[in-house]
Amino acid sequence: MKIHEYQAKELFKQYGIKVPNSKLCERREDIETILKTMKMPCVIKAQVHSGARGKAGGVKLAANYEEAVKVADSILGMELKSKQAGLKKVNKILIEEGIDIEKELYLSLTFDRANESIAMIVSTQGGMDIEEVAKNSPEKIYTQQIGNDFNPIKIIEKMGFNEDISEKIANIVKKLYKLTIEKDALLVEINPLVITKQNEVIAIDAKINFDDNALFRHEEILLLKDESEENPLELQAQKEGLNYIKLDGTIGCMVNGAGLAMATMDVIRIAGKEAANFLDVGGGAGSEKIEKAFRLLISDKNIEAVFINIFGGILRCDFLAEGVKNAIQNLNINVAVIVRMEGTNKEIGAKILNDSGLKFTVVKDLNEAIEVIRKI
Ligand code: GDP
Ligand code: MN
């Protein structure tokens, strides 16, 4: 789960990491009142779940009050280009007092799965072009696993800072580590972490991703979820207990079991098409849940056909057939539906579908499924 910069900065404050003075603004009519209380120059920052806001025009410096009003007015409500999600409407801005930047660093803690540990990544080349640095001069980025004897100061001193600054950075690393562990974060990133002209070290950006599987023990984090930032179909799926991820292809698929879902996506590929989603209805689904899942699936506008590939064990094929039949009857849809069922009550399931008067293609195996999907 992702949160906004302003929320991440609140958490930083709780952990004693310095951030600039700032105020959140959600309504146009509050812009002037808020700006009157802020020191100038200031920075206006779009609050959307997307990296590279700076490059997309979502972070702007304003020298004085009048300019700040203009900039705030233009960013609040704008549509910001985001790599991951197309255009995103800016519903909130963070108004922040400007910092005199001497140097921009990059600092993050993230999971190093291969080594089963958390890794610290740090670079003196922080700022908006960190991806370029990673590509063109990877030697400027230091990575260090955090183990029991971890002492960040050893690495940081090697980077050429004086003792005072090294200590300040090392302190921030320790606090970030505490936050990562206590809140079950998967990524905590400060880019840039800034050394100011006054020799302070301040986080002027903040990004935190949390482990969804640990949210059950962090009510306070769950409260930070901004539903307007989530994919609406995925959000609905979460509420209905379905394991759904939206993808870019045109063949909707419904499957039980994550492994079968992956195999099914391969099958769709072999047939020359791409999956429109990943949808695992789980083992224990009844016909009602199947109906819900099917509705969700076809509310994706990109879909040209649906492929249902179910191994009927705990989920019986007749339940599946009932659910799909009901969904189609109630929805009046006209995309092709290809069904492959295997396992418990598969004959009854096939009969329900064939007798429904609706158009299904019940295939006998995956080879036949491939042939049918290829012709769509
Ligand atoms: P991002 O593009 O979404 O990562 O947004 P950031 O919050 O990292 O801001 C982008 C850039 O704006 C930073 O790398 C800084 O160069 C600049 N910036 C942000 N806040 C300040 C500030 O208070 N003072 C100055 N001078 N520059 C800032
Ligand atoms: Mn940044």
The pLDDT of residue 327 is 84
Percent of the chain with pLDDT over 70: 99
Distance, in Å, from the CA atom of 190 to the CA atom of 123, rounded to the nearest integer, reads: 11
**pLDDT at position 232, please?**
85
Q: Does residue 149 have a pLDDT over 90?
A: no
Ligand 2 center to residue 128 CA distance, Å?
6
192 lines ligand 1 (CB under 6 A): yes
**pLDDT interval class at 34 (50, 70, 90):** very high
Q: State the alpha helices, DSSP H only, in 95-225.
A: 130-136, 152-158, 163-183, 219-222
- The two three-digit tokens of residue 103, written as one number: 């140097």
Residue 53, ligand 1, Cβ within 6 A: yes
Atom number of ligand 1 nearest to Cα 55: 2
- Report the pLDDT averaged over residues 164-192: 96
CATH class of 101-222: alpha beta
CATH class label, 21-97: alpha beta
Q: How confident is the model at residue 231 (pLDDT cuts 50, 70, 90)?
A: confident
Q: Does the C-beta of 56 come closer than 6 Å to ligand 1?
A: no
The pLDDT of residue 359 is 83
Query: Is the per-residue pLDDT at 175 higher than 70?
Result: yes
Given a cut of 80, whether residue 332 has pLDDT beyond it is no
Query: Given a cut of 70, is residue 240 above it in pLDDT?
Result: yes
For ligand 1, atom 11, name the residue with the nearest CA: 54
Instruction: Identify which has the larger pLDDT, 316 or 215.
Output: 215
Q: Is the pLDDT of residue 273 over 80?
A: yes
For residue 224, list its beta bridge partners.
none
Q: In this model, does residue 84 exceed pLDDT 70? A: no
Write down the CATH number for the domain with range 231-374.
Answer: 3.40.50.261
Residue 20 alpha carbon, nearest atom of ligand 1: 23
C-beta 280 within 6 A of ligand 1? no
Q: Whose CA is nearest to atom 10 of ligand 1?
A: 54
Residues 21-34 have a mean pLDDT of: 97
Mean pLDDT calculated for residue range 46-54: 90
In this predicted structure, the answer to whether residue 147 has a pLDDT above a threshold of 90 is no
Mark whether 106 is an active-site residue: yes
Reply yes or no on whether the pLDDT at 326 is more than 90. Answer: no
- Find out whether the beta carbon of 205 lies less than 6 Å from any atom of ligand 1: yes
How far, in Å, are 167, 171, 193, 205, 372 from residue 156 at the CA level? 8, 11, 13, 20, 60
Map out the domains of the chain as residue ranges.
21-97, 101-222, 231-374
Q: Which atom of ligand 1 is nearest to the CA of 96?
A: 23
| pLDDT one-digit tens code per residue, 295-311 | 899 888 889 999 999 98
State whether the beta carbon of 101 lies less than 6 angstroms from ligand 1. Answer: yes
**pLDDT digits over 113-139, tens only?**
898 999 999 999 998 788 899 899 998
Ligand 1 center to 19 CA (angstroms)? 12
> Which of 43, 97, 100, 197 is the best mutation target for the ligand 1 pocket, counting ligand atoms within 8 Å of the beta carbon and taking the most?
43
Taking residues 324-340, what's their average pLDDT?
A: 86
Quote the tokens at residue 325. Answer: 């039949």
- Mean pLDDT of the 75-81 span: 93
Task: Return the pLDDT at 141.
Answer: 92
- pLDDT (mean) for 347-364: 90
Mean pLDDT of 150-177: 92
Check pLDDT > 90 for residue 375: yes
Query: Of all atoms in ligand 1, which is nearest to the CA of residue 56?
Result: 2
Tell me how far the alpha carbon of residue 197 lies from the centroid of ligand 2, in angstroms: 19
Q: Is the pLDDT of residue 85 over 70?
A: no
pLDDT(334) > 80:
no
40 lines ligand 1 (CB under 6 A): no
Q: CA 46, 109, 210: angle at the middle one, nearest 5?
A: 60
286 DSSP 8-state letter: -
C-alpha 133/C-alpha 125 separation (Å) is 7
CA distances from 319 to 241, 284, 374 (A): 18, 11, 28
Distance 59 CA to ligand 1 centre (A): 7
pLDDT at 339 over 90: yes
Please give the distance, rounded to the nearest whole angstrom, from the Cα atom of residue 147 to the centre of ligand 2: 27
Q: What is the pLDDT of residue 314?
A: 81
CA of 114 to the centre of ligand 2 (A): 26
Average model confidence (pLDDT) across the chain:
92
Which one of 106, 177, 291, 322 is the catalytic residue? 106
β-strand partners of 60 = 44
- In this prediction the pTM is 0.80
